[in-house]
Amino acid sequence: MAETTAVLNWAHRAPCSKTIHDPSAKSPTKIKSHTGFALVTGAKMIILAIETSCDETAVAVMRNGREQLSSELFSQADMHAMYGGVVPEIASRNHTAVIGKLSELAVKNAGIELKDIDAVAVTYAPGLIGALLVGVNFAKGLAFSLGVPLIPVHHIRGHIAANYIAYPELEPPFLCTIVSGGNSLIADVRGYTDIRILGRSRDDAAGECFDKSARVLGLGYPGGPALDKLAQSGDDSLFNLPRPVIDGFPYDMSFSGLKTAVVNIVHNAEQKGETLDTASLAASIARAVSDILVPRIMTAAGELGYSKIAIAGGVAANSRIRADFLKAAEEAGHTLFIPPLKLCGDNAAMIGCQGFYEHLAGVSAGMDLNAYATLDADAEYTEK
């Protein structure tokens, strides 16, 4: 018992640094930007970042947050496709099998050595618990053996940060719609680590809606990209699909009714032996999702007085959604930030980028860091 207490006490004293160490200059420099957030000058902080929240194993090496030295990704999508969705145990096992080699590759491709790593950042929530735990434990081992800080990163904050990598000039505050396979929300990004959720999906995420729709249309898993492609040749006005509004919560969303409507259309056609215009159904789905997403952030921008808006997450790769956001932003005179396709889906570069800003804000974890299946993006990390 005494031994256990000693171990736990030690865990709380695990490596934790709040300043940036420049190995060459030996003089960490912190300045305040006009937004009130610390920026680093003259320092070269190298973060190795790990992302294993779902079915992508990813490791990246980032310098000073936004500069990507390497970004490696191993997608397990093929291994889950035959089941029509992610199988948690298979995801965890595959993360375990590849994370070591992928980390070696990320270090090699970054042109650095292990001793150059100043901190290790890792996604600790939200996601599949077994999958997250693989990344968290690997990150702990690495941080422990190198004697460097361990930075816990919220996955959704990481998605937002993908925009910082793509747009070096982007700084908070701005509004961001984050749409992925597991989450759909509108966030007021007041600062790098000061996030307020304005609205969210009450049920399914937009990506879940795309994936289930694609599944009933026989487009495989994950079906979002295939549905996007099919929609190109369709008529988006052929099917009238629901765009629910939640009374009193103008920024909240709902996608389950849309998903069910698509399933019913497909099943009815099958039962009646009718041929379905699948391209037009795909186009109508993309239009409906876009019609749910775009007006909400535009209204929020107007009400809160924002002129900078961003989108993030896997669904931000959808061509209809990108085009509609661009059009709406242009009409309103807002500046729109959309990450390139590579940075929309899960990756570790975005985790390393957000990890840098978490570190500047003094966020670090001890060896007791755990993983959480659900956690709001506005929750601060606290040692348990």
User: What is the contact surface with ligand ADP in residues (CB under 6 A)?
Assistant: 54, 180-183, 207, 210-211, 222-225, 228, 313-315, 317-318, 345-346
Shortest CA distance to 357 belongs to which of 215, 205, 78, 163?
163
Q: Which is nearer to Mg ion, 210 or 239 (CB)?
A: 210
Our finding on whether 56 is near Mg ion (CB under 5 A) is: no
Q: Which is nearer to ligand ADP, 126 or 149 (CB)?
A: 126
CA 114 centroid distance within chain? 26
Residue 118's binding partner among ligand ADP, Mg ion, none (Cβ under 5 to 8 angstroms by kind) is: none
Residue 311's binding partner among ligand ADP, Mg ion, none (Cβ under 5 to 8 angstroms by kind) is: none
Q: What is the nearest approach in angstroms of Mg ion to the Cβ of residue 258?
A: 20
Q: Which is nearer to Mg ion, 318 or 364 (CB)?
A: 318
Q: Which is nearer to ligand ADP, 179 or 363 (CB)?
A: 179
Q: What is the nearest approach in angstroms of Mg ion to the Cβ of residue 138?
A: 19
Cα 25 from Cα 229, distance rounded (Å): 51
Q: 90 by DSSP, 3-state: which?
A: helix
Q: Which residue has the tokens 């007791």?
A: 368
Judge contact between 334 and 47, C-beta under 8 A. no
Judge contact between 314 and 224, C-beta under 8 A. yes
Q: Is the peptide bond before 222 cis (omega within 30 degrees of 0)?
A: yes
- The single residue among 180, 284, 318, 347 that binds Mg ion, judged by CB under 5 A, is 180
Q: What is the nearest approach in angstroms of ligand ADP to the Cβ of residue 136?
A: 16
**Inter-axis angle of helices 319-332 and 278-304, to 10 degrees?**
30
Give kind and range of the element (H or E) at residue 123: strand 119-125
Give kind and range of the element (H or E) at residue 62: strand 56-63
Q: What is the nearest approach in angstroms of Mg ion to the Cβ of residue 314?
A: 6
Q: Which is nearer to ligand ADP, 183 or 354 (CB)?
A: 183
Residues 8-27 binding Mg ion (CB under 5 A) are none
Q: Which is nearer to ligand ADP, 191 or 220 (CB)?
A: 220
Residues 301-360 binding Mg ion (CB under 5 A) are 346
Residue 72's binding partner among Mg ion, ligand ADP, none (Cβ under 5 to 8 angstroms by kind) is: none
Q: What is the nearest approach in angstroms of ligand ADP to the Cβ of residue 218?
A: 15
Q: What is the nearest approach in angstroms of ligand ADP to the Cβ of residue 210?
A: 4
Residue 228's binding partner among ligand ADP, Mg ion, none (Cβ under 5 to 8 angstroms by kind) is: ligand ADP
Q: Which is nearer to ligand ADP, 188 or 211 (CB)?
A: 211
Q: Which residue has the tokens 């239009």?
A: 287
Q: What is the nearest approach in angstroms of ligand ADP to the Cβ of residue 188?
A: 20
Residue 61 sits at φ, ψ, to 5 deg, of: -120, 125
Residue 136's binding partner among ligand ADP, Mg ion, none (Cβ under 5 to 8 angstroms by kind) is: none
Q: Which residue has the tokens 């793509």?
A: 166
Residue 130's binding partner among ligand ADP, Mg ion, none (Cβ under 5 to 8 angstroms by kind) is: none
* Contact residues for 374 (Cβ-Cβ < 8 A; gap 6+): 125, 126
Give the burial string for 155-191 (b: 16+ CB within 10 Å, else e). bbbbbbbbbbbbbeebbbebbbbbbbbbbbbbbbbee
Residue 314 sits at φ, ψ, to 5 deg, of: -55, -40
How many C-beta atoms surround the C-beta of residue 70 within 10 A? 20
**Inter-axis angle of helices 129-146 and 88-110, to 10 degrees?**
30
Q: 129 by DSSP, 3-state: which?
A: helix
Q: Which is nearer to ligand ADP, 125 or 265 (CB)?
A: 125
Residues binding Mg ion (CB under 5 A): 180, 346
